[in-house]
Amino acid sequence: MAVKKTAKKGSSKTAKAAPAKNRAKADSLTMSEVSPALTVNDLTRSLAWYRDVLGFETDERWEQDGKLMGVSLKAGGVTLMIAQDDWKKGRDRKKGEGFRLYCATKQNVDALAKKIEARGGRLDQKPTDQPWGTRDFALTDPDGFKITIGADQKR
């Protein structure tokens, strides 16, 4: 975080910069939601994992020439889209490298993690209290996309 020196005479203290929301310019970008779209190797397998293991619901299905090509999934107010890879960039390209979805929930994180494990999910990290005030757990989808699900413990 940027630090600005105060102009007080005889003082060497520093003041923190104003929060970003106070510095926003009138023409800055404002968004209300984000809907990640993941390209997957096996759409049927990924759909089953997101629906049957994590608990997403199918919102929309996209077909081309009678073949399922993509799905929009919902969990509460979150939308996630998955689409079948067309392999135009090669079959050996890695997915999920350097990418993590952070998902917030108001549900009990420990109970949610147990449900996911009971449905066949494998956690990369069991529910853990984090120093920044959340309790979260982590897992990886069939294509290597990393997901962290957490709840704010300050409530």
Domain ranges, ordered by start, for the chain: 35-86+96-152
Angstrom distance (rounded) from CA 90 to CA 99: 19
Residues 6+ apart with CB under 8 A from 124: 138, 139, 140, 146
Closest listed residue to residue 111, CA positions, set 100, 129, 126, 125: 126
pTM of the model: 0.78
pLDDT for position 105: 95
Superfamily of domain 35-86+96-152: 2,3-Dihydroxybiphenyl 1,2-Dioxygenase, domain 1 (3.10.180.10)
Residues 6+ apart with CB under 8 A from 16: 1, 3, 4
Per-residue pLDDT tens, the chain, 155 aa: give them.
Answer: 444 444 444 444 445 555 555 556 778 898 888 899 999 999 999 999 999 999 999 999 999 999 999 999 999 999 999 999 998 888 888 887 888 999 999 999 999 999 999 999 999 999 999 999 999 999 999 999 999 999 998 75
